[in-house]
Structure 1
């Protein structure tokens, strides 16, 4: 039973002494858990609590079914999920994995990426792609971004291709897909495979096709902050290639062709059945949630127009705004003003990848990727999820406007 009271717990408070009278179904408990990970605001950044309340009955039904049959690693839920995800995306094959990072790793292993190979990717975004390339002993080759969409700039792609290039991985970012017509055309000329990094764009479209169906092979993430999210980690690969699909299925089970018969080096990358059952419950409402994301994103953009730089969605694209990102000068000042009013915000991402200490060995320096460096200094993520009420949308818009005026534009 909900008490109707909002409890905000900070990291300084003692969780053990505060949780004794909280019921597992209460908002208070959920906010308390979030607070332990730094979410100490009254306005949640995600809508996971509201979503959970909406689908609680189906979630419990799915989870209890798994507990009853006891097949936690090879249950039928995985096969059902893979088929439904493949149908949603429009692909022949879906291979569900334990995380989006595992999906990227499996994809590169399936393409036989080796030490000293080169793989081209965007210089701006989450580290996972460049990290996996490096883990395999290959070299990430960075390309600067389109300053409006933050995705890899196709005009700069061809000059990055060398005899060592073995694949191209454009990152879809902030919920919007890269320009795959241009990228695929260049890749075809050079006979290179393209891996769509759709970790932030599940449910988005490009020229009427859904993310996950735009290249040779696609990867996505179902991490807790994504448009389709597990309660923890999960991911998937998509392809129409029968050979690649079978290779991926073997790779995620330690390279097994059949039980205890290993024909390649692989990984333990399988999704667990509990997460699959959770995703099946959430998949039932995904289309409606994606429509809500698009509608709310458009409302925020209209309300903030002329105040800050808002997301530009290309006419051929739809975006799931994962997350919703503005550009603003004096970002930290705006953040502090918003925080005072209970509006959370985050920075995704700073610094760009070529300036990360872990990639210092590549010998890249400040100034080599000017677009990425410029936007990395200005981007700020605001709350957007399918359960953001009109009242809360207006509040976010008003507070950003007021804070912008206060700091002098």
Structure 2
């Protein structure tokens, strides 16, 4: 019997409320397509394209059954993939959900860390309409841990709190020159590329997916020569993101270890690489590269304001929130999932953990009742 596209869309949404986003931005070659048995001898099924067509068609037409009688109020800190997933699941179970978001729009990393050419922001705007239709309230420009704290949320009657604040603090290299006017961090640049004047020649330190996004964005915003540098031979980005960056005109240089950055560009040492592609030392001398701007795009970590302002909330040595097997933090009633717990991963990983957290939150609040 044929399945109607709306039925298929409903099933995808119930399994993954971020399906329309994951079908575009996730690493399909490492996930669905990469595990397809047909790919062993030929071409795998293009699950992501099928999923995107169904989810996109369903997004504007879905009518979710939301209980009219509301249960306890719940606070969700952060409107990224993890926070939105928890909010949607709890709303569907009748909880009164308020999302506190420090930016003006929902989406988190999917809006402010992924370029428009990879993920159109109109998709997030359409998703927001459905979220509001579910009765979920959104407080923009409200960063918990500054004027308001988690303790304030509990004071005002929220039965539990979910933290999905992601990782927005750029990691520095700890080298001379990072404070110069021509040096920027990748996560900051992606948030608002129009605010930057990078010049014609741009050097990027790092070769992860974020670095590829930085390179492609710079080339679309006036840069004529963009080069990415790596200390060894390993590329952290997936192959198709690297291929797209190369097609856009980005260049790649391996075996260059950054030493410092000057007004004229980065200074490298040349790595000595053995037969196992491991860096075993460095050649004598330095290599000054001319660049109008240098962008550091190695990784991100979490901001620690929630830990600083919440009694009993503990983090790891990297600042990531510590959770138990039910995604509850060291502060009772406070749950967390996504990048703020596991570090920077894919959207689908955040959704997977957020679903687990939502189930645990429901069990916790029903037990408290």
Q: Which has the higher strand share?
A: 2
Name whichever structure is richer in helix by fraction: 1
TM-score (norm: length of structure 2): 0.28
